[in-house]
Chains A and B, each alone.
Chain A
Amino acid sequence: MIRATALLATLTALPLHAQELVVYTYDSFTSDWGPGPLVEAAFEEQCDCELTFVGTGDGAAMVARLQLEGAGTDADVVLGLDTNLIQAARDTGLFASAPDDLAAPTLPIEWQDDTFVPFDWSYFAFVYETYALDTVPTSFEELAASDISIVIQDPRSSTPGLGLLMWIDALYGDEAGQIWADLADNIVTVTPGWSEAYGLFLEGEAEMVLSYTTSPAYHLIAEEDDGKSSAIFDAGHYLQVEVAAALAASDQPELAAEFLRFIASDAVQSVLPTTQWMYPAYETELPAGYETMNIPGVALLQAPDVAAARRDAALALWQDALSQ
């Protein structure tokens, strides 16, 4: 028991700093192979402060944590909310306006938000191995009519899963139930998160996986494998835009604003394509290989308040159709 207490004591020791910016983000951002370490080193050099990333699981966990902590949160900035979470985040009333001298982001849609600053984005898409499919579907109808096996994520536990839900909702509205019912026999399984789904896909459990149009870039650039591609649907692709925002209760408001400007700068934006495997949100040169990525003709995104309002109904349609 004494030894256990001693071990506990050593585990609790954490350093403290005076001039410190605390940024909540999701885990994969802060990992060695994510952009976190590069961003931290570059920002600390310019700000003469201590930048602390706190990985909080995923984007949804981050909002949950902010709601738990309320205005007493230690966070100065949150980084990595997705468009579907913006409304819930806004409703907490914890956020401050973004600095007004930021450049306009280069997204395929119009972006107007005075609080949430986009930093990267991509299109949701079904990714496949080029050798495995003879005909690639160009719509949800074609996919549903085919016998192609797919693996998707659960919209109740995963942001890409929620993205697919809103994608089909944006295209089909109240008729979405029919599409889901038709897709049911294509769906091998529904996983709790992106990692499980992508892992199953790479193990050959399904021919297609819900991921991003930029996913093949990882295989092309990091693995020199050009055998993955994304299916482009004529009706359009839903966007995932990841955003950052400063907290109103921050004890470092200037530092937080400086950080938001910093993530819109080339220093951060240029590392995103090969760490996040997403498009940068501001004018930046893309690494070689990205020019081969498929680009959908139509970009879809529902406004945060619309998406939030439609979510429960869309979820009910999904659940009914797939529970048959």
Chain B
Amino acid sequence: MKLTGWSGVVIGALILLGCGAAIAALIGVSGGDLTLSAGDLAAIRFTLTQAALSAVGSVLVAVPLARALARRRFWGRNLLVTAMGAPFLLPVLVAVLGLLAIWGRNGVLSTALTAIGAERLNIYGMTGVVMAHLFFNIPLVTRLLLQGWATIPAEHFRLGAQLGFGARARFRLIELPMLRAVLPGAGLLVFLLCITSFAIALTLGGGPKATTVELAIYQAIRFDFDLPRAGLLALIQTGLCLGVATIAMLTGRAGEARAGMIRPVAMMGGAGRWLDFTVIACTTVFLAGPVVAVIVRGVPALIDLPSSVIEAAIRSILVAISSALLSVSAGLMIAIGLVRIGLARPVLARLGEGAMLIVLAISPFVLATGWFILLRGHVDPFAIALPMVVLINALMALPFALRAFVPAVALAQRTDGRLADMLGLTGLARLRHVMLPHVRGPAAFAAGLTAALSMGDLGVIALFGSTTTATLPLVMYQLMGAYRMEAAAGAALLLLILSFGMFAVIDRLGKTHDPV
């Protein structure tokens, strides 16, 4: 066990080192003057503002939603929880078109508004950017919070009921401590995800005032070939995120989850019933609308997709499964390492976890380009294209795996750790008998998420790709680039079906009786 803990720490350190090396490689490629323009400062401001708004907004919606879903049982609930993964799995461009089909100037709502003589909606600008980020991230935060609710033993609620807790006391004494443990990490995750927003901010932002740092990095690498500038911007972006992550991880506190012995009981009726169902209904409509639009647009073209789309789909599935395995293995080891450190130095462990989340805030463009520079001359860039995609995707998904693993591993350690110590269980035996029962659910969730995320990834493959390595999102993008929007819509639907199918199947594999 000790060994496993250390290997996690080593892997984590290697990853941080790798990210740092990528940035250093860009800056070190030549001297050049490293100054920030007024435009850069505006971009940094916009990036931080939209990410903060998106994170706060996602949390504000996800808390009541997760609470409602945790308390209520109804027909189709499990299906709904699984289906909520769908928005997160859509490639950005597809999701944007889906959102616009509902909220756009020519969308369903605008058409309805003009029918009654009102103005068309115009969501372009900060509204559109934050709305798209909410669409992506509400489901994610909700899933993380549901896992949080699942760590509250049912005994607590029963005891609270016996003591005559009202709604407020129940929230303050039972649910709030859990939220304090889960929310900082979940909010931070959304914040970091939105930091590297590129296509959303640009397409829905309405113009250059909605410029993110990521765009400036992209421009520096692609158009100006000003690598030191890209490295500097990446450094600033990472530094700012590190600051935010430190604050978030320090304001939160470690979870005090205990395992319950009884099965959770759903609340039937009772106060807040209508409120709960209203929250569930409204968010479901908000999340489902664009997804339905994607399905409706894609169905006509789904039957006669070009053969290259199928080949790309198979390649994408291989990449996705490889990334998922890599990410889950590394994530579990790092989580064990962090929990081990946490036994002696809890603050250090939380900072370590925050640092791992930072990986999200490092532009994939910077990682890919930095590593390209480092590997140049040592290996054939064509040969490493797909492995590189696998690696970077696994890395980008690692924070999700960690978010899911750390609480579960901590719980395993707290409940069965001492017994295992006494029995002298170490290494694989301990992994099998102590860890596995606890991490099975989170592992499946993380694997499903990583697999689906890799399916939809475009950024990395676009930098490294070549004809023999085209993945499904890339082919979809090429179809759009060749005017074939209908075929692209079909490919997008195929991508949604495959990503979601993979996510749902893997997620199901991890399902036990727990209500998450």
A27 contacts the other chain (CB 8 A) = yes
- Check A56–B105 contact: CB distance below 8 A: no
A295 contacts the other chain (CB 8 A) = no
- Select one of B198, B369, B474 contacting A68, CB under 8 A: B369
A114-122, A149-157, A170-178, A283-291: which lies at the B interface? A149-157
Interface residues of B in 3-57 (CB under 8 A from A): 39, 42
A28 contacts the other chain (CB 8 A) = yes
Question: Which single residue of chain B is at the shortest CB-CB distance from A61?
Answer: B222
Q: How far is the CB of A36 from chain B (nearest CB, A)?
A: 7
Residues of chain A within 8 A of B308, CB atoms compared: 31-32
- Check A323–B477 contact: CB distance below 8 A: no
A111 contacts the other chain (CB 8 A) = no
Interface residues of A in 51-85 (CB under 8 A from B): 52-57, 60-61, 63-64, 67-69, 72, 74
A183-197 near B? 1/0 per residue, CB < 8 Å: 010011111111110
Q: How far is the CB of A131 from chain B (nearest CB, A)?
A: 14
Residues of chain A within 8 A of B97, CB atoms compared: 199-200, 203
In angstroms, Cα B465 to Cα A53, docked, is: 11
Q: Given A72-B377, A154-B202, A194-B481, are A27 and B383 also a contact pair (CB < 8 Å)?
A: no
Q: How far is the CB of A137 from chain B (nearest CB, A)?
A: 19
A1-9, A229-237, A249-257: which lies at the B interface? A1-9
- Check B482–A12 contact: CB distance below 8 A: no
Question: Which single residue of chain B is at the shortest CB-CB distance from A69?
Answer: B376
Q: How far is the CB of A205 from chain B (nearest CB, A)?
A: 5
B516 contacts the other chain (CB 8 A) = no
Q: Given A4-B326, A200-B100, are A192 and B225 also a contact pair (CB < 8 Å)?
A: no
- Check B376–A57 contact: CB distance below 8 A: no
B392 contacts the other chain (CB 8 A) = no
- Select one of A28, A61, A67 contacting B478, CB under 8 A: A28
Question: Which single residue of chain B is at the shortest CB-CB distance from A217?
Answer: B483
Residues of chain B within 8 A of A28, CB atoms compared: 478, 481-482
In angstroms, Cα B93 to Cα A11, docked, is: 27
Residues of chain A within 8 A of B105, CB atoms compared: 149, 188, 204-206
Q: Given A192-B202, A200-B100, are A61 and B376 also a contact pair (CB < 8 Å)?
A: no
- Select one of A7, A61, A202 contacting B322, CB under 8 A: A7
In angstroms, Cα B325 to Cα A76, docked, is: 38
Of B209, B223, B380, most buried by chain A (CB within 10 Å of CB) is B223
B60-68, B213-221, B248-256, B335-343: which lies at the A interface? B213-221
Q: Given A31-B475, A72-B376, are A8 and B387 also a contact pair (CB < 8 Å)?
A: yes
B412 contacts the other chain (CB 8 A) = no
Interface of chain B, helix or strand or loop or mixed? helix
A18 contacts the other chain (CB 8 A) = no
- Check B382–A195 contact: CB distance below 8 A: no
- Check A319–B208 contact: CB distance below 8 A: yes
Interface residues of B in 141-172 (CB under 8 A from A): none
What is the interface size of chain B, counting residues whose CB is below 8 A from a CB of the partner? 70
- Check B329–A1 contact: CB distance below 8 A: yes
- Check B222–A190 contact: CB distance below 8 A: no
B467 contacts the other chain (CB 8 A) = yes
A103 contacts the other chain (CB 8 A) = no
B194-205 near A? 1/0 per residue, CB < 8 Å: 000011001111
- Select one of B219, B329, B384, B465 contacting A4, CB under 8 A: B329
In angstroms, Cα B369 to Cα A189, docked, is: 29
Of B319, B468, B488, most buried by chain A (CB within 10 Å of CB) is B468
- Select one of B39, B372, B380, B479 contacting A319, CB under 8 A: B39
A240 contacts the other chain (CB 8 A) = no
Residues of chain B within 8 A of A43, CB atoms compared: none
Of A4, A188, A198, most buried by chain B (CB within 10 Å of CB) is A4
Residues of chain B within 8 A of A10, CB atoms compared: 318
A167 contacts the other chain (CB 8 A) = no
Residues of chain B within 8 A of A53, CB atoms compared: 466-467
- Check B386–A11 contact: CB distance below 8 A: yes
Q: How far is the CB of B128 from chain A (nearest CB, A)?
A: 8
In angstroms, Cα B382 to Cα A193, docked, is: 25
Residues of chain A within 8 A of B400, CB atoms compared: none
- Check B199–A196 contact: CB distance below 8 A: yes
- Check A196–B93 contact: CB distance below 8 A: yes
- Check B462–A61 contact: CB distance below 8 A: yes
B484 contacts the other chain (CB 8 A) = yes
B362 contacts the other chain (CB 8 A) = no
- Check A7–B318 contact: CB distance below 8 A: yes
Q: How far is the CB of B98 from chain A (nearest CB, A)?
A: 10
Q: Given A7-B321, A28-B482, are A14 and B382 also a contact pair (CB < 8 Å)?
A: yes
B74-104 near A? 1/0 per residue, CB < 8 Å: 0000000000000000000100110011001
- Check B203–A204 contact: CB distance below 8 A: no
A15-48 near B? 1/0 per residue, CB < 8 Å: 0000000000001101111101000000000000
In angstroms, Cα B204 to Cα A198, docked, is: 14
Question: Which single residue of chain A is at the shortest CB-CB distance from B93?
Answer: A196
In angstroms, Cα B380 to Cα A14, docked, is: 10
Residues of chain A within 8 A of B124, CB atoms compared: 188-189
Interface residues of B in 314-349 (CB under 8 A from A): 318-319, 321-322, 325-326, 329
- Check A63–B225 contact: CB distance below 8 A: yes
A215 contacts the other chain (CB 8 A) = yes
- Select one of A33, A56, A60, A318 contacting B482, CB under 8 A: A33
Give me 26 A-to-B residue pairs in the complex whose CB atoms sit less than 8 angstroms apart, sorted by A's number. A3-B325, A4-B325, A7-B321, A12-B387, A33-B484, A53-B466, A53-B467, A56-B465, A57-B462, A61-B463, A74-B380, A149-B105, A154-B208, A157-B219, A191-B203, A196-B93, A199-B97, A200-B100, A200-B104, A200-B203, A205-B100, A222-B483, A277-B483, A323-B42, A323-B207, A323-B209
Of all A-B residue pairs in the complex, the 3 with the closest CB atoms, nearest first, are A204-B106, A195-B480, A4-B325
With contacts A88-B225, A154-B202, A324-B209 known, what are 12 further pairs, Cβ within 8 A?
A3-B325, A7-B390, A11-B322, A27-B465, A27-B481, A64-B225, A154-B208, A193-B481, A196-B199, A200-B100, A200-B104, A206-B105
